[in-house]
Amino acid sequence: MTAAIDVAGLRKNFGQTRALDGLDLTVAAGEVHGFLGPNGAGKTTTIRILLGLLRAGGGTAVLLGGDPWRDATTLHRRLAYVPGDVTLWPNLSGGEIIDLLGRLRGGIDAKRKDELLERFELDPAKKSRAYSKGNRQKVALVAALASGAELLILDEPTSGLDPLMEAAFREAVEDLARNGTTVLLSSHILSEVEALCSRVTIIRAGRTVDSGALADLRHLTQTSVDAELAGPAPGLAGLAGVHGLDVVGNRVRCQVDSSALDAVLRQLTAAGVKSLVCQPPTLEELFLRHYGPAPAEPVGVAGKGHR
Amino acid sequence: MNALAGTSELTRLAVRRDRILLPVWIYVLTAIVASTAYSLKKGYPTAADRASLAAGVGHNPSIAAIYGAAYSSSFGGITAWRAGLIAAIGCALMSIILVIRHTRGDEEAGRLELVGATSAGRQALPVAGLVLALAACTVLGLLIWVVCLLLGMPVTGSLALGLEIAAAGWVFAGIAVACAQLTASARAARGIAASLLGAAYLLRAVGDANPGVSWLTWVSPLGWAEELRPFAAERWWVIALSAGATVAFSALALVLAAHRDVGAGLLPDRPGRPAATRWLRGPVTLAWRLQRGSLFGWLGGFLVAGAVLGAAAHGIGALLNSPQVRADVFRYGGHASLVNAYFVVLFQEAAIAAAAFAVAASLRLHDEEAGQRAEPVLAAPVGRIRWAAGHVLTAVIGPAVLLAGLGLAAGVAYGTHGGMGSQVLRLLGAALAPVPTAWVMAGVAVAVFGLVPRLAVGISWGVLGVAALLAIVGPLVRLSHWVLDLSPFTHTPKLPGVAFTAQPLLWLTGLAVLLAGAGLAALRQRDIG
């Protein structure tokens, strides 16, 4: 499959500050790709380079087979963008802005627009100065999702939305993904990325630190096991790949490397299992493994599971 | 909750944010008065020189309409006549900009919410804005007092001159803080306050030019500044009018501020359309949609000013007998007819105002970029030049529309006494002649926006200010020719009354194209945002 976005060794300086320091990002056509990183890691800078708003300081960036700086205008026919901080023209209404942005891209699907307005419960007749942050974001989302573009670039698109609207957003993106739309989703809402994305790229301080299918990345972390047993399971303590073992009476809690999972389960069944909760590693744990203050014991910090 | 809690912290914050803007404004306004005084001292060294200046031009009703009347032929008196009103308008503008920026501007940007959530009271922000502006005006007045003393003017007259300028600023600080309560948009609030300043100028213009309606001068806060009459038996009690008006407007604003929601204006926000009209479909129509309101507002001002000042031209004629009048007027207009000279001055000032519109229209580009509203348009298949085109086009067409409106209105008003058709055509043509100067100023703004966007606002307005001062004050104070030539406003043919020459206009247009071209070329190459 060809890549919709192919970025290698991307660099960008703002004066003395180094915003991007050799960033790599590959998004295959048709996939929903999570773009993760803490605040200030360089997500927005990367996106602005891909949009041809900033000129890359080094490295290569290929967008839909073209040069994002030189071919900006032609490439933009094929993509739609939702900025992280949506600012709108205060004296235009939301409906006017959605129509305008759609027409700039060469037309808007009126039926789809109405459907999205309804799904996001947005009143298009309000002047945009009267909108809250979430509603401003909805305006940009409706315009982008109704555009029919083959590539969506979404920069923290749900940071102002309530949980109901977040769900509406997920549904809409899933619909588009089923129809083959490529999506680059920058976010730090990990549950959203987990729900939507097949592959993720994790960056830190302008560099890619991890990239791959979510399933593959999970192997790098540990599954948390919480079991109530019929009797003691003395063999657990000696097993390689078991961490943070916590035994209170017949209750056992620990973190297990993927490689040791089989051996741990044998020990547990041998002791007799009354109840068992096994949680796959969450993205949050993955995330904290890269960014956490103490990388040696990240799981203990993040053991709350899904958000 | 104490409604004023936090005022001193907010005032200090405002001072901190304006630590560059504020000294520059105050310095420039002081420099206008000082340089005018200094040049008048050199240009009219003897009492006889000054007496003939004051008796001639100073009492011509149409010149009085534009610059105010001269009440004294002393050195201080002609300085006050020549620089007092300009500095008072500058001071009033400073007040409006400062107050709106720190009240409605912060509120619109959402920064007020941060403040409102702290222990600051709901009247703290308007009071902080007011305190800052009143203090700035007062400092300016004191500085002007000191400068006049240093130039050897009498103590009380100098103080009165400083006070008249500061007092105009006080009143408009009060007016601005009241306007800031009316609308949800800072731009609209500034527009209302600036229109009131324009109305104040026109009221006193008509009052000064026509003895029959001289009471109109007393309706205008700028008229009060004149009526203090520095160096001519000062009427100190006039200050009470300014102070009273300042207190009244401020009190009104505080009452309004206490009774409205944060972020809301008192004038209702009309609901918008649920969908865009057919014509709102590209960057150019978007620019027109964003700028048309302000163009229509300016056009209204130009039409009123043209009609009022055109009608005032009838008052000219009785004073043609003094040879000194002719000599002094000659210096402004470069030809014999006083009426023509009057219109030359009027159209030159109108050209400066039209250039201000052109600069503001060009700087919308900077507004859009800094406000991150350029991003969604540029992320669509819209090239940077096409994005900029709509705003640049407004800056090209706007000044022509404004000056045509002014020329038409002046022609109709002046032509009511006969020769309507020919007057309208003559004045329309003369008013349109300086349009290329506005284009040059727009060109400067576009060039700076493209090359050094961070400095776009300061440099563009600074260049306009210097060019305008050279054109307004320069000829009277006999600046050398090569200095005057730096201002595009001195290059246009002095119409009506002289033969039309296209050459300087073509040069100016070419310069404007070059400047704008350089800016747009740089825009294509640089980072956005």
DSSP readout, B225-240? HHHT-TTSS--TTHHH
Specify the pLDDT at position B442. 97
B245 and B295, same domain (yes or no):
no
The position carrying tokens 């563009």 is: B460
Q: Testing the interface with B: which of A53, A131, A136, A184 to mutate, by most B Cβ within 10 A?
A: A53
Q: In what order do the strands lie in the sheet with A58-63?
A: A17-28, A3-14, A58-63
Q: Are residues B136 and B193 in the same domain?
A: yes
Residue A289: inside a domain: no
**Sheet containing strand A222-229, strands side by side:** A242-248, A251-257, A222-229, A273-279
Q: What is the CATH number of the domain that holds A226?
A: 3.30.70
The overall longest dimension of chain B from CA atoms, in Å, is 70
Residue A134 inside a domain? The answer is yes
CA B453 to chain centre: 23
**Residue B128 belongs to a domain:** yes
Q: Is residue B14 part of a domain?
A: no
Q: Which tens digits make up the pLDDT trace of B118-168?
A: 656 678 888 999 999 999 999 999 999 999 999 999 999 999 999 999 999
- Residue where a domain terminates, one of A217, A242, A260: A217
Q: Are B302 and B405 in contact (CB under 8 A)?
A: yes
Task: Report the pLDDT value the prediction gives residue A304, as an integer from 0 to 100.
Answer: 35
Per-residue pLDDT of B397-415, as tens digits, reads 999 999 999 999 999 988 8
Q: In this model, does residue B317 exceed pLDDT 60?
A: no
Contact B275 A96 (CB under 8 A): yes
Residue B522 or residue A215, greater confidence: B522
Q: Of A83-92, A247-256, B62-71, B175-184, give the lowest mean pLDDT range.
A: B62-71
Q: Hey, how many other C-beta atoms are within 10 angstroms of the C-beta on A73?
A: 15
- Residues B42-71 have a mean pLDDT of 77
For chain B, the domain total comes to: 2
pLDDT of residue A303: 34
Residue B502 forms part of a structural domain? yes
* Beta strands, E only, A29-101: 32-36, 58-63, 79-82
Cβ atoms of residues B22 and B15 within 8 Å: yes
Q: Across the interface, do B276 and A100 touch by the CB < 8 Å criterion?
A: yes
Report the amino acid identity of residue B319.
Answer: L
Neighbours of A22 (CB within 10 A): 14
Place of tokens 């003939």: B52
**Is the per-residue pLDDT at B329 higher than 60?**
no
Is position B292 within any domain?
Answer: yes
Partner residues linked to A278 by β-bridges: A225
Domain edge (last residue) among B233, B266, B299: B266
The angle subtended at Cα A56 by Cα A52 and Cα A59, nearest 5°, is 130
Q: How far is B199 from chain A (nearest CA, A)?
A: 26
Whole domain around residue A270: which residue ranges?
A: 222-280
B190 and B323 housed in the same domain: no
A168: in domain? yes
Nearest one of B411, B426, B434, B419 to B345, comparing CA atoms: B434
- Whether B141 is in a domain gets the answer yes
Q: Which of A82, A104, A114 to mutate to test the interface with B (most CBs of B within 10 A)?
A: A104
**Contact between B381 and A91 using a beta-carbon 8 Å cutoff:** no
Classify residue A299: in a domain, yes or no: no
Give the residue among B276, B464, B482, B263 at the shortest CA–CA distance from B361.
B464
pLDDT at B274: 86
- Taking a C-beta distance cutoff of 8 angstroms, is the pair A149, A78 a contact? yes
Are A54 and B528 a contacting pair at CB < 8 A?
Answer: yes
Same domain, B63 and B126: yes
pLDDT of residue B120: 61
d(CA A41, CA B477): 59
Rounded Cα distance between B368 and B371, Å, is 5
* Same domain flag for B317 and B425: yes
CA distance A224 to B502: 85
* Measured CA angle at B290 (ends B529, B379), to 5 deg: 35
Q: How far apart are CA B172 and CA B221, in angstroms?
A: 8
Q: Would you write out chain A's pLDDT as a tens digit for each of its 307 residues?
A: 578 999 999 999 998 899 999 999 999 999 999 998 888 889 999 999 999 999 999 999 999 999 999 999 999 999 999 998 888 998 899 999 999 999 998 888 889 999 999 999 999 999 888 888 899 999 999 999 998 899 999 999 988 888 899 999 999 999 999 999 999 999 877 778 888 998 999 898 899 988 888 777 766 667 888 999 888 877 888 888 888 888 888 898 888 887 888 888 888 888 889 999 888 776 667 677 666 654 333 333 333 333 3
Cβ contacts (< 8 Å) between A90 and chain B: which residues? 108, 184-185
Of A70-79, B258-267, B280-289, B394-403, the range with the lowest mean pLDDT is B258-267
Radius of gyration of chain A measured on its C-alpha atoms: 23
A26 has which bridge partners?
A6
Of B422, B405, B406, B423, nearest to B414 by C-alpha is B423
Give the CA dihedral A286, A292, A298, A304, nearest 10 degrees: -70
Statement to judge: residues B203 and B335 lie in one domain: no
Residue A17 resides in a domain: yes
Determine, yes or no, domain membership for B486.
Answer: yes
One domain, residues A84 and A182: yes
Q: Same structural domain for residues A42 and A128?
A: yes
Q: What is the predicted pLDDT for the residue at B489?
A: 87
Give me B411's structure tokens.
């022609």
Distance from CA of A10 to the nearest CA of B (A): 16
> Is residue A287 situated within a structural domain?
no
**Closest by Cα among B380, B281, B385, B378 to A78:** B380
User: Do A89 and B290 make contact, defined as CB atoms within 8 angstroms?
Assistant: yes
Residue type (1 letter), A89: W
Q: Are residues A159 and A62 in the same domain?
A: yes
- Residue whose structure tokens are 């298949």: B381
Cis peptide before B496 (omega within 30 of 0): yes
Q: pLDDT value at position B119?
A: 58
Phi-psi region of B147 (alpha: psi -120 to 50; beta: other; left: phi over 0): alpha
User: Longest C-alpha distance within chain A, in Å?
Assistant: 71
Is residue B23, in this structure, part of any structural domain at all?
Answer: yes
- Whole-number Å distance between alpha carbons of A215 and B216: 81
Burial class (CB in 10 A: 0-12, 13-18, 19+), A249: exposed
Residue of B nearest to A85 (CA): B372
Provide the CATH number for the domain around residue A95: 3.40.50.300
Let me know whether A139 and A243 are in one domain.
no
Kind of pairing, strands A222-229 and A273-279?
Answer: antiparallel
Q: Please identify which residue in the block is written with the tokens 């009247």.
A: B123
Inform me whether the C-beta atom of residue B527 falls under 8 Å from chain A C-beta atoms.
yes
pLDDT of B93 > 90? The answer is yes
Task: For residues B283 and B214, state if they share a domain.
Answer: no
ipTM of the complex: 0.78
Q: How many domains does chain A have?
A: 2
Calpha distance B339→B410 (Å, rounded): 12
CB contacts < 8 A, A to B, total 115
- Do A250 and A125 share a structural domain? no
Please indicate, yes or no, whether residues A275 and A240 belong to a single structural domain of this protein: yes
Query: In terms of domains, do A254 and A112 share one?
Result: no
Please state which of the ranges A156-160, B194-198, B395-399, B431-435 shows the lowest mean pLDDT.
Answer: A156-160
Residue B262, chain A, CB below 8 Å: the answer is: no
Confidence of residue B117 (pLDDT cuts 50, 70, 90): low
- Contact call for A87 and B273, based on CB within 8 A: no
Closest by Cα among B315, B310, B312, B304 to B496:
B310
The residue with greater pLDDT, A279 or B523, is B523
The reply to whether A291 falls in a domain is no
b/e map of B323-354 (b: 16 or more CB within 10 Å)? eebbebbeebbebebbbbbbbbbbbbbbbbbb
pLDDT given at position B337? 66
Judgement on whether residues A101 and A70 belong to the same structural domain of the protein: yes
- Residue B1: pLDDT over 50: no
Q: Do A129 and B381 touch (CB under 8 A)?
A: no
Pair B299, B262 in one domain: no
| Domain end residue (candidates: B237, B266, B295) | B266
Mind telling me how many Å the CA of B257 is from chain A's nearest CA?
Answer: 19
Assign B47 a pLDDT band (cuts: 50, 70, 90): confident
B211 close to A (CB below 8 A)? no
Find the CB nearest B373 among A87, A99, A143. Answer: A87
Contact yes or no for A124 and B286 at CB 8 A: no
Q: A96–B269: do the CB atoms touch at under 8 Å?
A: no
Whether A104 and B282 lie within 8 Å, measured CB to CB: yes
> Helix, strand, or coil here: B305?
helix
- Segment B53-58 shows an average pLDDT of 71
**Mean model confidence pLDDT for chain B:** 86
- Domain annotation covers residue A199: yes
- B262 and B322 co-located in one domain: no
In whole angstroms, how large is the CA radius of gyration of chain B?
23
Q: How far is A210 from chain B (nearest CA, A)?
A: 28
- C-beta of residue B54 within 8 angstroms of C-beta of residue B70: yes
Long-range contacts of B484-490 (CB under 8 A, 24+ apart): B488/B436, B488/B437, B488/B440, B488/B441, B489/B348, B489/B351, B489/B352, B489/B355, B489/B434, B489/B437
B377–A51 CB contact, under 8 Å = no
Query: What's the mean pLDDT in B58-63?
Result: 67
3-class state of residue A163 by DSSP: helix
Alpha-carbon distance B43 to B49, whole Å?
Answer: 9
In terms of CA atoms, which chain A residue is nearest residue B385?
A: A73
Q: Where do we find the tokens 């825009």?
A: B523
Question: Which of B438, B391, B406 shows the shortest CA–CA distance to B291?
Answer: B391
Q: Helix or strand or coil: residue A27?
A: strand
Q: Among B59, B65, B60, B58, which Cα is nearest to B309's?
A: B65
Q: Judge: B380–A72 Cβ closer than 8 Å, yes or no.
A: no
Report the alpha-carbon distance of residue A100 to residue B264 in Å, rounded. 26
Q: Is the pLDDT of residue B335 over 50?
A: no
Tell me, yes or no, whether A241 and A111 share the same domain.
no
Q: For residue B92, give the nearest of B24, B155, B166, B30 by alpha carbon.
A: B166
pLDDT of B340 above 90: no
Domain extent for B232: 19-266
CA distance to A263, B309, B353, B465, B491, per residue, from B406 (Å): 91, 10, 11, 22, 20
Cβ–Cβ under 8 Å, residues B402 and B302: yes
Are A41 and A147 members of one domain?
yes
Q: How many CA atoms lie within 13 A of B276 on its CB side?
A: 25
Domain boundary among A198, A217, A236: A217
Can you tell me the distance from the alpha carbon of B439 to that of B507, in angstroms, rounded to the nearest whole number? 11
Chain A residues whose CB is inside 8 A of the B281 CB are 100, 103-104
Closest CA to A184 of A265, A54, A63: A63
Separation of alpha carbons A84 and A160, rounded Å: 9
For residue B374, is pLDDT > 80?
Answer: yes
Q: In what order do the strands lie in the sheet with A182-187?
A: A79-82, A151-155, A182-187, A32-36, A199-204, A207-213
Nearest CB neighbour to A48, from listed B274, B290, B529: B529
Region B459-471: mean pLDDT is 90
One domain, residues B262 and B282: no
Residues B259 and B301 placed together within one structural domain of the fold: no
Neighbours of B370 (CB within 10 A): 15
In the listed set B205, B235, B266, which residue is the last one of a domain according to the structure?
B266
Are B262 and B294 part of one and the same domain? no
**Angle of helix B186-209 relative to helix B155-182, nearest 10 degrees?**
140
Q: Within a domain: residue B4?
A: no
The whole-angstrom separation of Cα B291 and Cα B361 is: 7
Domain match, A206 and A226 both: no
Distance CA B347, CA B313 (A): 13
Q: Report the predicted TM-score, pTM, of the whole model to 2 decimal places.
A: 0.80
Distances (CA, A) of B174 to B129, B181, B210, B250, B356: 10, 11, 29, 5, 24
Assess whether A135 and A244 both reside in one domain: no
Considering CB atoms only, which of B272, B275, B371 is closest to A87? B371
